[in-house]
Structure 1
């Protein structure tokens, strides 16, 4: 049930999924959903944690093991099959992390893991408010930006967006 909810939230985002949508999509009774998870938010957090642990982190292990981790992460983001595994994180960053401290905590951990997969080592600097991500370290932001462009192009029904610029000879 949590896996199916993660897939639904990854496609439509938190605000795009109603409790009625969850009940219909998951095939559970509304009371059962509330009894087990307490709320839509409770199910969302369980789905986000499941997704990060069972979908994103195994992919990042493969990225870390690749000869060119940054290229492997870029390929992941642009893959029609595997790129969707970044979508729930992307939507959580934009929609839930700014307003939900628990979602923000999960997102921050996943972003650290993304950074470490591309270039192992510290990617945070101490700031006035504690540890902060180094704004000069851009591979993770670039990859997530590519994924966002691909989602937008797919949603518009237009021509697929080519995230890679033409090479110059």
Structure 2
């Protein structure tokens, strides 16, 4: 007869996500996970696989939590440009916040730490970026169709510029002690939408 799990896998995955987000992949050992999750090494392996597989599952969980918020923000009926501006400003505010400086964004952290040498992590980062770019692009296409965005602006190119800006804001926000740096950059980028 199979043993029943004596822990909640969903809660354990959330706890692992928080630890990876705070410490990074390389700085988090299996021993750290055992201690933080309060479950045995064998249970971690049996439920989630190895550390790398657990990290990728945590990264998926992170994206699942953020993506619906972005979809909701960028797909509201009515004018689209105010929603795009609000998303850019929210990213900048998050990056400049004490929490943002402490943890940053797990996707951006993964891009910097793992993506250059980890194809599985790179695929997840790229998928997250493609999703964000698609949401921005859709909102910008609506904005152009509604006359909010100049007809000479390429919604795809603007979406890509905003994606790169948002990722840069997250990196600089995490590393800089000057919150005005990210806020000013975001505001200057938004002038390109006028």
Q: 1:164 aligns with which of 170, 176, 183?
A: 183
Q: How far has the Cα of 1:164 moved from its partner?
A: 2.5
TM-score between both structures, scaled by the size of structure 1:
0.75
Q: How far has the Cα of 1:113 moved from its partner?
A: 1.0
Structure 1, unaligned stretches of length 5 or more?
Answer: 122-132
| Deviation string, structure 1 residues 24-66 (Cα, Å, up to 9, x no partner) | 111111121122222110110111111112x121121133135
Partner of 2:73: 63
Partner of 1:108: 126
Quote the RMSD (CA, aligned, Å).
Answer: 3.1
Structure 2, unaligned stretches of length 5 or more?
Answer: 1-11, 140-155, 189-194
Partner of 1:97: 115
Please say which structure displays the higher CA radius of gyration. Answer: 2
Which structure carries more relative contact order (alpha carbon 8 Å, separation 6+)? Answer: 2
More helix per residue: 1 or 2?
A: 2
1:6–1:48 CA contact under 8 A, matched in 2: yes
Partner of 2:148: none
Q: Are 1:142 and 2:156 an aligned pair?
A: no
In the alignment, the residues of structure 1 paired with residue 70 and residue 51 of structure 2 have an alpha-carbon distance, to the nearest angstrom, of 28
Q: Are 1:117 and 2:132 an aligned pair?
A: no
| Deviation string, structure 1 residues 117-167 (Cα, Å, up to 9, x no partner) | 22218xxxxxxxxxxx979921011011111111113xxxx4545412298
Q: Are 1:75 and 2:89 an aligned pair?
A: yes
Q: Are 1:41 and 2:52 an aligned pair?
A: yes
Structure 1 runs (4+) greater than 6 angstroms displaced: 133-136
1:69–1:119 CA contact under 8 A, matched in 2: no
1:9–1:44 CA contact under 8 A, matched in 2: yes
Q: Structure 1 residues 135, 65: CA separation in 2 closer, same or farther (over 3 Å shift)?
A: closer
Bigger shift: 10-19 or 41-50? 10-19
Q: 1:6 aligns with which of 6, 17, 23?
A: 17
